[in-house]
Amino acid sequence: MGVAAIKTLRSRITLTILAVSLLTIAPISVFLNVYINRTFENYIMRQERERSDGIVSDLESHYDALSGGWEEDFLHTLGMYSLYDGYILSVSDARGDVLWDAENHDMTQCSRIMMEISARMSTLKGGFETHDYAIEAGGRRVGGVSVTYYGPFFYTENDYRFIKTLNIATLAIGLLSAAVAVFAGSLLARRIAKPVTRTAAIAAQIARGNFNERFDDAPSTRELRDMTAAVNRLAASLAEQENLRKRLTSDMAHELRTPLAAVASHLEAMIDGIWEASPDRLSACHDEILRIAALVKDLRELAKIDGDKRVPNKSEVDIFDVARTVCHNFEAEAAKKNLTLSLAGEASVVPADKDGIIRVITNLISNAIKYTPENGRISVTAGDSKDAGVVEVLDDGIGIAEEELPFIFERFYRTDKSRNRKTGGAGVGLTIAKSIVEAHGGAIEVHSETGAGSRFVVKLPKG
Ligand code: ADP
């Protein structure tokens, strides 16, 4: 089994167009050529017969019955004119005696003209042939004429030039059309092949891990434009994924290093006997480890959400109901700080993943509790608004500085205030909330002012 030869797209398209044009243009020009030649030959043959008939009728009309013959001058003129046109005449009287004969009259002229015609007609089969005609006057035979010419047809100098020009013209038209077709085909092939080749090169770069190559100029053909746009999108999204992966890895390492190092140094001090392993110290280490465990849990969740942007189990969820449950769960924690946690609103049903929504509201209320000093107020509202379900978590806590607002949804971001307070988590709670809300096609907004409190608004589309 042979392996099919691999050809470039360009040569394949060009060859195909060449083959198609040859298959169509060549038969058309050949047919045209043959048809023109045939028609012209028929026309010439008809003309030759008419010429012979003309000679006979000329002779008949110039017959002088009185003298019983023709004027010498007439015969000479007719004979010589005919000879120049390629017709060799021999006129005889009723008895068969030759009165005028071209060959006898001017042998050299005669053979020169015959040779010329033979040379002109050399590519066609044929030869000189003689036709005898009777000349009649008054109903009786008064003589005869034999007309010799090149048969089955011959071209005069002008005929020859005409048909030759026509033949060259048809051939030239054929060649020119084929050349134009091939030229246009090769241009087209180039336009198609160029972006395809570039796509292959970019794909190869992507495979090697270089996601920075892009198509700069979009092709004007729709399919090619779609293809190059898709490759650009692919490269961009891979670059983004790669960035995310790198950032996540380094952020994670950074976040885990500090608490792990703290626990390790505390434990070391206790093992070495520098510190007494008091229940207080052990409990502090335990707390730190619990924090690390919570962080690892958050990170796992974050990785899961990042990996799959779709909402897995959508069902009809009443967000007011969810908010009530979550508020209930936080009652004890709020009471510890003497915070007023209130809930208002009405039922609002949206298609959503219930666990995800519980997670979002939990993170928001948990933040509100964390970042609101004792005796503060937290109010949660849930309900309908136009074509969305809305949950609002409002607190009168420490608030967020304006310059920090754009970053709080980024992973591992914590405002300076929350860092100093040593409260709070790793800074992924809002990142997770935002990812979940966006996976539902919704949006999360924040309005906040340092010292005045914060308001988080979550909108979840109904359809
Ligand atoms: P964390 O686990 O640190 O709370 P989040 O992603 O939930 O992380 O929040 C990011 C940061 O946004 C917090 O560290 C905090 O500085 C700020 N923040 C979030 N919610 C509030 C709030 N209700 N009041 C003030 N600051 C807040």
Centre of ligand 1 to C-alpha 414, Å, is: 6
Average pLDDT, the chain: 88
In degrees, rounded to 5, the angle at the alpha carbon of residue 77 between the alpha carbons of residues 71 and 81 is: 150
Atom of ligand 1 nearest to the CA of 427: 8
pLDDT grade for 214, boundaries at 50, 70 and 90: confident
Average pLDDT over residues 42-54: 91
pLDDT at 423 over 70: no
Name the residue with the closest Cα to ligand 1, atom 2. Answer: 425
* DSSP string for residues in 309-360: -S-SS-EEEEHHHHHHHHHHHHHHHHHHTT-EEEEEE---EEEE-HHHHHHH
Determine which of 56-65, 194-203, 212-221 has the lowest per-residue pLDDT on average: 212-221
The per-residue pLDDT for 299 is: 79
Write down the pTM of the prediction: 0.54
Distance between terminal CA atoms of the chain? 58
Q: Is the pLDDT of residue 427 over 80?
A: no
Q: Of all protein residues, whose CA lies closest to atom 14 belonging to ligand 1?
A: 414
pLDDT of residue 340: 96
- Indicate the pLDDT class of residue 421, thresholds 50, 70 and 90: very low
- Of the residues 360, 414, 434, 447, which should be mutated to test ligand 1's pocket, given the most ligand atoms within 8 Å of the CB? 414
> What pLDDT was estimated at residue 98?
92
pLDDT tens per residue, range 353-379? 999 999 999 999 999 999 999 999 999
Rounded to the nearest whole angstrom, what is the distance from the C-alpha of residue 111 to the centroid of ligand 1? 119
Q: Which of 32, 31, 43 is nearest to 155 (CA)?
A: 43
- pLDDT at residue 256 in the model: 83
Distance 456 CA to ligand 1 centre (A): 11
Give the residues surrounding ligand 1 with Cβ less than 6 Å away: 363, 367-368, 371, 395, 397-400, 408, 413-415, 418, 424-431, 454
Cβ atoms of 9 and 192 within 8 Å: the answer is yes
Q: Distance from the CA of 75 to the center of ligand 1, in angstroms? A: 128
- Per-residue pLDDT tens for 144-161? 999 998 877 788 788 889
Average pLDDT over residues 88-108: 90
418 — pLDDT class (breaks 50, 70, 90): low
What does the pLDDT read at residue 163? 87
Q: Whose CA is nearest to atom 7 of ligand 1?
A: 429
Q: Do the Cβ atoms of 171 and 33 come closer than 8 Å?
A: yes
Which residue blocks in 4-156 are alpha helix, DSSP H? Answer: 9-61, 72-84, 102-105, 107-120
Of 420 and 53, the one with more pLDDT: 53
Query: Is the model's pLDDT at 344 over the cut of 60?
Result: yes
Long-range contacts of 289-295 (CB under 8 A, 24+ apart): 289/263, 291/259, 291/425, 292/256, 292/259, 292/260, 292/263, 294/425, 295/255, 295/256, 295/259, 295/425, 295/426, 295/428
| pLDDT at residue 259, rounded to an integer | 81
Of the listed ranges 174-178, 232-236, 394-398, the one predicted with least confidence: 174-178
What does the pLDDT read at residue 60?
93
3-state helix, strand, coil in the chain (%, to 5): 60, 20, 25
- Strand, helix or coil at 371? coil
Ligand 1 centroid distance, CA of 175 (Å)? 79
Specify the pLDDT at position 2.
44
Q: Is the pLDDT of residue 130 over 80?
A: yes
Contact 232, 214 (CB under 8 A): yes
Q: Are 442 and 361 in contact (CB under 8 A)?
A: no
Over 70: is that where the pLDDT of 80 sits? yes
pLDDT-based confidence at residue 70 (cuts at 50, 70, 90) = very high
Output the pLDDT for position 425. Answer: 65
Which atom of ligand 1 sits closest to the CA of residue 368? 23
Confidence band (pLDDT; 50, 70, 90) for 1? very low
| pLDDT given at position 62 | 92
Q: Whose CA is nearest to atom 1 of ligand 1?
A: 427
Q: How confident is the model at residue 14 (pLDDT cuts 50, 70, 90)?
A: confident
pLDDT at 55: 94
| % of the chain residues with pLDDT over 90 | 43
Predicted confidence (pLDDT) per residue in 298-337, tens digit: 878 777 776 666 666 789 999 999 999 999 999 999 999 9
> Quick count: other Cβ atoms within 10 Å of Cβ 325?
11
* Ligand 1 midpoint to CA 439 (Å): 21
Mutate to test the pocket of ligand 1, among 430, 436, 448, 455 (most ligand atoms within 8 A of CB): 430
**Main-chain phi, psi angles of 382, to 5 degrees:** -140, 145
